[in-house]
Amino acid sequence: MDKKLALAALIGTLSITPVSAKEFQDHTSMMNHGDGHLMDMDGGMVMGQNADTLPGGCDKIAATKEITIHAGHKYAEKFPGTMYAFDQQEFQFEPCTKLTVHFINDDEIRHQWMMHGLPKYLYPKGMFHLEVSGPGKVSGTLILPPGDKTYLVHCDIAQHMEKGMKAQLKVGKGAEDLPSIPGVTTSVFPDDYSGKPYVAEEIAAEAATITPATDSTATPTTSAAPDAETDTGLSGTTIIGLAIGFLIAPSLAKKYKGMSPGEIVASMIETATGLISSAVKLVSSLFKKPADKKATSK
Ligand SMILES: [Cu+2]
Q: If you average pLDDT over residues 175-198, what whole number do you get? A: 85
Distance CA 85, CA 140 (A): 20
Mean pLDDT of the region 236-243: 63
| Ligand 1 centroid to residue 127 C-alpha, Å | 16
Distance 204 CA to ligand 1 centre (A): 28
Query: How far is Cα 248 from Cα 274, in angstroms, rounded to an integer?
Result: 17
User: How far is ligand 1, taken at its centre, from the CA of residue 165, in Å?
Assistant: 7
Give the pLDDT of residue 7.
Answer: 66
Q: What are the domain boundaries of the chain?
A: 25-186
Name the pLDDT band for 270 (thresholds 50, 70, 90).
Answer: confident
Residues 6+ apart with CB under 8 A from 103: 69, 71, 113, 130, 131, 132, 137, 138, 139, 140
Distance from residue 77's CA to the centre of ligand 1 (Å): 15
- Predicted confidence at residue 296, as pLDDT, reads 43
CA distance 38 to 249: 63
C-alpha of residue 154 to centroid of ligand 1, in Å: 8
pLDDT recorded at residue 114:
98
Whole-number Å distance, alpha carbon 252 to ligand 1 midpoint, is 49
| Inter-CA distances, 260 with 171, 255, 257, Å | 70, 12, 9
- Using pLDDT thresholds of 50, 70 and 90, give the confidence band for residue 298: very low
User: Which range is least confidently modeled, 67-81, 133-147, 180-194?
Assistant: 180-194
- For residues 104-109, give the mean pLDDT: 97
Residues 6+ apart with CB under 8 A from 276: none
> Ligand 1 center to residue 130 CA distance, Å?
11
**Is the Cβ–Cβ distance between 27 and 136 less than 8 Å?**
yes
Contact 178, 218 (CB under 8 A): yes
pLDDT digits (tens, 9 = 90+) for 60-100: 999 999 999 999 999 999 998 899 999 999 999 999 999 99
User: To the nearest whole percent, how much of the chain has pLDDT over 90?
Assistant: 52
Give the pLDDT mean for 273-280.
Answer: 73
Q: How far apart are the CA of 159 and the centre of ligand 1, in A?
A: 8
Question: Band of the pLDDT at 194, cuts 50, 70, 90?
Answer: confident
Q: Which CATH architecture has domain 25-186?
A: Sandwich (2.60)
Question: What pLDDT is stored for residue 271 in this prediction?
Answer: 66
pLDDT recorded at residue 281 = 74
Q: How confident is the model at residue 196, as a pLDDT?
A: 77
CB atoms within 10 A of CB 47: 21
- CA 245, 247, 251 angle in degrees (round to 5)? 100
From the CA of 89, how far away is ligand 1's center (Å)? Answer: 14
Tell me the per-residue pLDDT of 221-230, one tens digit each, with 9 for 90 and over: 444 444 444 4
Helix residue ranges, H only, 24-175: none
| Whole-Å CA distances, 62 to 35, 77, 219 | 23, 36, 29
pTM of the model: 0.61
114 CA distance to ligand 1 middle (Å): 10
